[in-house]
Amino acid sequence: MAVYKVKVATGDILKAGTKNSISITLVGSRGESRQTTIKHWFLPGSEKDLTVHCEQDLGPIVLIRLHKWRLFLEDAWFCKDVRVTAPDGTLYRFPCYLWLEGVITLEVREGSGRKKLVDDELEILKEHRRQELEARQEAYQWKIFAEGWPRCLNVDSVLDLDSNVQFSCVRATDFKGALIFQKTSHLLTGFLSKSTSWKSLDEMRSIFSRSKGREIGGCLVCPPP
């Protein structure tokens, strides 16, 4: 009987915790463990400890599978990392830093630096890499916005993107706040309401110097004759 000690860490960002069911499967070079359920109620910044019992030694742990199951309502979970200690004391680290949404199984590769990769020896790692590339190719496709314009992502809105490629709610709120501030500033200075051409560079400089864009106004200097 081989016993593995597992520590699962939840990120410390806003709403990172979850009440949904989370379980884990350890995958080694000699086999894999049974799916083991972790305790519920994951709080932001918390860590959960559990033991995984296997009938035999799994060999080097090459990846893990995190299974998320929705009990009643959807409650996304942000996994920071997972650390697995083998029976011989070897520590395996699995950095994740991803959101898990809905009913999903996420495979995470072992993240320790190695001098020699074992991808060519283990078919399961080859398959994992192939599925990862296919998923990225499907998620990130290009489309032509307009003839002569640079291509853009084939989505109608940033909300259609996966949560892991969107800005965090804190960063998004910061951007929206900065945008509202700049629009208000330009409205008060008369920039947004101006419908005629600029009369001089001094007029442009007088408007931009009242906002954080004063560096732009400072660049509006005619070169000497």
**Per-residue pLDDT, 209:** 61
Spatial strand order in the sheet of 2-10: 47-54, 2-10, 77-85, 91-100
Angle at 78 between CA 54 and CA 102, to 5 degrees: 85
Q: Residue 80: what are its φ and ψ, rounded to 5°? A: -80, -60
Confidence of residue 124 (pLDDT cuts 50, 70, 90): confident
The residue ranking higher by pLDDT, 148 or 78, is 78
Quote the mean pLDDT of the chain: 81
**Per-residue pLDDT, 21:** 92
**Per-residue pLDDT, 185:** 75
Annotated binding site for Ca(2+): 17, 75-76
DSSP 133: H
Confidence of residue 8 (pLDDT cuts 50, 70, 90): very high
Angle at 89 between CA 88 and CA 95, to 5 degrees: 125
Is the pLDDT score of 181 beyond 80? no
SS3 113: coil
Picking from 1-10, 43-52, 147-156, 189-198, which range would have the lowest pLDDT averaged per residue? 189-198
User: Domain spans of the chain?
Assistant: 2-139, 167-219
Annotated binding site: 17, 75-76
Homologous superfamily assigned to 2-139: PLAT/LH2 domain (2.60.60.20)
CA distance 105 to 107: 7
List, for residues 43-85, the tens digit of each pLDDT value.
999 999 999 999 999 999 999 999 999 877 888 999 999 999 9
